[in-house]
Amino acid sequence: MLRALALLIAAAATAAIAQDYPVKPVVIVVPAAAGGPTDTLARQLAVAMGGALKQQLLIDNSGGAGGTIGINKAAKARPDGYTLLLYHIGMATAPALYRKLPYDTLNDFEYIGQIADVPMMLIAKKTLPPGSFAEFLSYAKANRDKLAYANAGLGSASYLCGLLFMSTIQAEFTTVPYKGTGPAMNDLVGGQVDFMCDQTTNTVPQIKSGNVKAYGVTTAVRLRSLPGVPTLDEQGLKGFNLVVWNGLYAPKGTPKAALDKLVAALQVAVQDATFRTRLADLAAEPVPVAKATPESLRTLLRSEIDKWTPIIRKAGVYAD
């Protein structure tokens, strides 16, 4: 009798919590430094989802170790609906790169949904002599021991693009790792490093203001917002195609009622006109609603782990 009463009270309490969720700001852990592409996407999403949830979403930048520090922080957070994780393709590369990951990528998280796809661009400091990609290729091969490539650490999107680019042109360069491409971009604009492959949410403003040079985009077709920048594919790197997908997660055990509200808010956000316009200005594309679902993200993450693991294994790189 007492047990039944206790269960009843607990159920009522859970229902009340579910009904009022969220009653305080929700934190999104971003495993990359402030000011970079993932931070930019997270801040746009926080506005759009905050409107739908009628609550503030705050960003916690926890960069480093190719994103695994922030991912682990979110995995270990209290599963109460008030801590989320926003991360990209790096979720799929870490299992191959880190032999001792402190979390289980596929089983330590609840899935909320995909958010947006972000193309990447090969860019360089504005003082680098080559004026075109063709000139850059011969210059880079002739100066491979002098050029410094910036990235956000092993497993990051900028690392993966560099890995693909270097293996495609058969040339290695010194790489300079940062906690994110936000700080890397500052050094590129300042001329401390020479080139980088980074997401358009970070490159477009710098290209438009003439702070960096653009040699090409990593998509199969040119970007509507940057029609003048050719693809790497059309410039001879046949089949070069890399777009950064992004997903939203919560710690395993987060109440279903909270997850349902988060999925609904994400679906409102990806259709939100302001969110869509802001991303379009940065050449990024919110996903269709059908992809802003737990199933779609779970399926994508699994297939991406299967895709990147052999590529990384072939490169024979380990982060630990």
* Strand pairing report for 212-217 and 174-177: unpaired
* Using rule CB under 6 A, residue 50 touches ligand MLT: no
C-alpha of 56 from chain center? 21
* Using rule CB under 6 A, residue 37 touches ligand MLT: yes
Give the nearer residue to ligand MLT in terms of CB position, either 36 or 95. 36
> Which x/- pattern, by CB under 6 A, does the window 14-33 give for ligand MLT?
------------------xx
Beta strands in the chain (DSSP E): 26-30, 57-61, 83-88, 109-125, 148-151, 174-177, 195-199, 212-217, 243-251, 285-286
User: Exposed/middle/buried for 299, CB within 10 Å: 0-12, 13-18, 19+?
Assistant: middle
Give the nearer residue to ligand MLT in terms of CB position, either 43 or 126. 43
Q: Which residues contact 74 (CB under 8 A, 6 or more apart)?
A: 29, 83, 84, 85, 109, 249, 250, 251
Give the nearer residue to ligand MLT in terms of CB position, either 261 or 278. 278
Among 36, 119, 251, 286, binds ligand MLT (CB under 6 A): 36
Q: Is 88 helix (H, G, I), strand (E, B) or coil?
A: strand
Among 44, 156, 206, 293, binds ligand MLT (CB under 6 A): 156
Give the nearer residue to ligand MLT in terms of CB position, either 182 or 251. 182
Q: Is 192 helix (H, G, I), strand (E, B) or coil?
A: coil
CA torsion sign for 208, 212, 213, 217 is negative
Closest separation in Å from C-beta 294 to ligand MLT: 22
Among 22, 79, 180, 286, binds ligand MLT (CB under 6 A): 180
Closest separation in Å from C-beta 206 to ligand MLT: 14
> Is residue 217 a contact partner of residue 120, using CB atoms and an 8 Å limit?
yes
Distance between CA atoms of residues 85 and 110, nearest Å: 10
* Using rule CB under 6 A, residue 157 touches ligand MLT: yes
Query: Stretches 44-52, 153-161, 259-267, 283-291: which one binds ligand MLT (CB under 6 A)?
Result: 153-161
DSSP state of 80: S
> Which x/- pattern, by CB under 6 A, does the window 181-200 give for ligand MLT?
xx------------------
> Which x/- pattern, by CB under 6 A, does the window 64-93 give for ligand MLT?
------------------------x-x---
Angle between helices 273-281 and 37-53 (to 10 degrees): 170
By CB under 6 A, the residues from 203 to 242 that bind ligand MLT are none
Binding site for ligand MLT (CB under 6 A): 32-33, 36-39, 88, 90, 152, 156-158, 180-182
